[in-house]
Amino acid sequence: QEFKRLFDKYLEQPYLLDGHLEQIVRTLIEPIRCASCPEAVLQKCLIFLQVPTSVRGYKAVVHHLPHEISDIEPVLQLLERVTPIQTACHPTVNMLLLWLSVVAIVPFQLSRLDSGDGFNKSIAERILSIVKVHLSSGGHKTVAPALLAANFITRPDIVDVHLDDFFAWIQETIDPANAPEAAVVSMLATLARVFKLANRDVLSKYAKSLLTLLSHKCIKANPNIVVRKLSMKLFQRIGLTYLPANLAPWRHLRRVKQLVDGLNADASRTEPAFPSMKENTNFEVPPIIEEVVDKLLEGLVDEGLNVRWSAAKGIGRIASRLPKEMASEVVSSIFSQFEAQIENTSWHGGCLALAELGRRGTLLPEHLPQVVDAVVKSLVFDERWGKCTIGSPTRDAACYVTWTLGRSYDPCDIAPFVSSLATTLICVALFDRELNCRRAAAAAFQECVGRLGTFPHGISIISIVSYFSLSRIQTSYLSVSLQVADFPEYTQHLILHLINEKVGHWDRNIRLLCSQALFKLTAKDPHFMIDTCVPKLLVAMSDHDGSVKHGTVLSLAEVVHALSIWAREREKDIEDVLGPESVLRLAELPATLEKDRAFLGIGNASRGATCFLIEKLARAHLRAHSAQSVLESWQSIIEACLRWDDKTLRCQACSSLSVFMEEYYGGDEGACERIVGTYIENLRSPTEGVRSNFAQALGTFTSSFIGRLGSLG
């Protein structure tokens, strides 16, 4: 346990072990290689070796395992001693299988190691027996058996002898209805790796039968996400066996400037990143490719994220080897997933596919208008699901697409879309609810600034919008956004993004941060707030969604307060800035909310927001002093909030009450006496919370009100 705890410290940064792996592996393997090694020591060494393998990953560890011919026989003997019952749970089996997978690829014919007496099994037969036992055992370790099976069966001296029988055995054995799930996973992983390592001429005769197997035995529709992911990987590798090994020459490759161009007068000349190749015009796409592409397109809308990711990579690899016309059809199929808004999985899968296609040059410059349109929509995609949303994977994938565009295309190709990409990325980097999306957008923005150099104020902004400055969402909303808003190209886009996307956000904290950010951003462009944003917010009040109403009230309150401060600095009133019609609607808004039963549902939140609006209208010195009906409605709403036994609502009501009384009843002694008397009567309420609320409310009155309490008591 102490040994495991030591290595667990490296789980976050396992690459720090790389410099010590060779010594660790050698120290633990040397006792095992000794012929006189006791069984207990052997077991302990293998168990200890499993610990760094789990932390760093098998791919880094197997390179340091000994791979001499003399190791084959001892490892085989150790594995043959493991009984079938132990196979599924023995802690040392995994390391022995990994070791044998390395030893099994020694560049010598295994037949030379056989005794040749005809009585004992050959080395190849013994390894094949071990492979079949561990593939079909259903143990929880599935990688090692698959790695051993693929490395062994694709050996040049084995593939012609045993591959037919091995594929026949797998097709007969792999059955999700009867075989353990782990066995199905191991066999699919083996097939996927075999199709990666073996010669395509050898594999082509098995491709159709395996495609039928994946469909008829319902492996693709298996509830196990790992099975579906491996099915996608196998689909793509089956398709690749029928396509040319070389990538298509029609692909778009970013052009690279020569260093000497900086010294020449004609510095715009560029050279292709890779020399052009002649396209094989005689190549005909087999019909099986259409079936494979259809399966991968279905995988893009799978409910499993890893399945969609595997399908997207498969589409990218296959499309980069297809003729131009057929690849364009594949790209059109991807775009269709954004047109029919079925569910979030189709948007996420579509973004991943676009990123893979763009990274491989399959998206041509003429596709960029549709790509950018889909990406901009995906960057703000947020689908409501009950009390939360499920759009963050789509937004993260859209950032990946933008990152790919910056790496794969020339500045002249992206130039028409610079404004929309730059502003949308910055909005996501600053205001997205999820930290990973904020950082992904910042990384994509930084990549585009470095690769393209055409984003406005790019260098200055990436020093502000950094990995660490976005860690706290409060800092992003209330501090970093103000620094970015100093650049006029981004100011209005930041404000509009908040109003269109965040005012009615499902998360109450985001709505609150949005209103606070709008308060601070108002000073950056007050005329835009007056002409565009306040009318938008007033229109949004007619929305039936409680979250939208709540957020709109908060934002209106903050914007009106900020505009009043700006107006006073110019010796104006809020009425002079907003106009009489807007002021009238603001004054009647609390009563309208109560009349429209907006206090139902998320009632306490809406009540608190309405009290907050009353407070901000009073701070803005809204001219409602003579409108008695308006003042009475405001006062009744505050008093109704005080009758709720809710601490948060009480604090908000008391905060608004003090400002409201000072602004509108400061000089009206009769009203003061009446209100104070009403509040004192409520101190006799049978509910303790109500008594506490009105006592705190009395404590918020100014000294002029407090002086009247003696005569009334």
Interval 320-349: pLDDT, tens: 999 999 999 999 999 988 876 667 888 999
- Residue spans of alpha helices (H) in 465-541: 473-475, 481-484, 488-497, 508-521, 526-528, 534-540
Q: In terms of C-beta distances under 8 Å and separation of at least 24 residues, what long-range contacts does 657-663 make, across chains too?
A: 657/697, 657/700, 658/700, 658/701, 658/702, 659/615, 659/618, 659/619, 660/614, 660/615, 660/618, 660/634, 660/635, 661/701, 661/702, 661/705, 662/618, 662/702, 663/618, 663/619, 663/621
pLDDT at 582 exceeding the cut of 60:
yes
| pLDDT interval class at 523 (50, 70, 90) | very high
> What domains are defined for the chain?
374-502 (no CATH), 503-712 (1.25.10)
| pLDDT interval class at 257 (50, 70, 90) | low
Interval 406-418: pLDDT, tens: 999 999 999 999 9
* Amino acid 628: pLDDT: 82
| Higher pLDDT pick, 340 / 106 | 106
pLDDT at 133 exceeding the cut of 90:
no
Interval 204-222: pLDDT, tens: 888 888 888 887 766 767 8
Among 136-140, 267-271, 283-287, 452-456, the range scoring the smallest mean pLDDT is: 267-271
| pLDDT interval class at 267 (50, 70, 90) | very low
- The two three-digit tokens of residue 484, written as one number: 């970015």
Q: Which residue bears the tokens 């809204």?
A: 622
Counting every residue written for the chain, the total comes to: 713
